[in-house]
Chain A
Amino acid sequence: RKEVEQDPGPFNVPEGATVAFNCTYSNSASQSFFWYRQDCRKEPKLLMSVYSSGNEDGRFTAQLNRASQYISLLIRDSKLSDSATYLCVVTHAGGTSYGKLTFGQGTILTVHP
């Protein structure tokens, strides 16, 4: 079983739609949680960190449920420029490799006119 599991999609939605991605992680000792975005043939870029209380950044809302080991990302009012692969990422507690990230396989989103 993969440590971080995501629905690979693809999700095809029209502009203006609301879309939600889910992610589960298997290691209960996971400490930090992130959503990264990766455009085709580009590097992953941090979209947002995910906090236990939930957090919002403009049209993007992230939620974390530690009990269920579940992370979500909600995108409201989708734009064409939101088309990308969204990567669910976790880190584990302990040690000093804070940047030792465990990636999900990614969820592909295509927003069409």
Chain B
Amino acid sequence: EAGVTQFPSHSVIEKGQTVTLRCDPISGHDNLYWYRRVMGKEIKFLLHFVKESKQDESGMPNNRFLAERTGGTYSTLKVQPAELEDSGVYFCASSRSGLASGANVLTFGAGSRLTVL
């Protein structure tokens, strides 16, 4: 099966600009997660979609970040306006529904590296 696909792989923008990251999960995976790793820190949870619904967005840093998953397929994460501290690698991951089916077994995408100058 195809893996989790993320686009772009690398984006360089100036402070104040807008960037939209896209994630295509594995087909049939209802759960979609966004994580982020900033320089020198551990990978941190941002939010969780179940199909098109936000299940948990407790990790979103602030209201400059907006995530959507229209139709329950691909997801986008928009940062507007971007700040210097938003630089890092944004990972998307997906999993099946139900703990017995491996809901806690995540497949990660290769990540989108964001550099804000």
**Which A positions have Cβ atoms within 8 angstroms of B?**
2, 4, 32, 42-46, 49, 87, 91, 95-106
The proximity string for B residues 9-51 relative to A, scoring 1 for CB distances below 8 Å and 0 otherwise, is 0000000000000000000000101010000011111001010
Question: Is B2 in the interface zone, CB < 8 Å from A?
Answer: no
SS of B interface (majority): strand
Given contacts A91-B104, A103-B42, 9 further A-B contacts (CB under 8 A): A43-B91, A44-B43, A44-B108, A98-B31, A99-B95, A99-B104, A100-B45, A100-B48, A101-B106
**Which residues on A sit within 8 Å (CB–CB) of B45?**
100-102
For the complex, count residues of B whose C-beta is within 8 A of A: 24
Verify B111–A98 contact, CB threshold 8 A.
no
Contact flags (1/0) for B79-115 with A, using CB distance below 8 Å? 0000000000001010100010001111011110000
Residues of B within 8 A of A96 (CB): 50, 55, 103
Q: Show 25 residue pairs from A and B whose CB-CB distance is below 8 angstroms, ordered by the A residue.
A: A4-B42, A43-B91, A43-B109, A43-B110, A43-B111, A44-B108, A46-B106, A91-B104, A96-B50, A96-B55, A97-B48, A98-B31, A98-B95, A99-B31, A99-B93, A99-B95, A99-B103, A99-B106, A100-B48, A101-B35, A101-B106, A103-B43, A103-B44, A104-B42, A105-B42
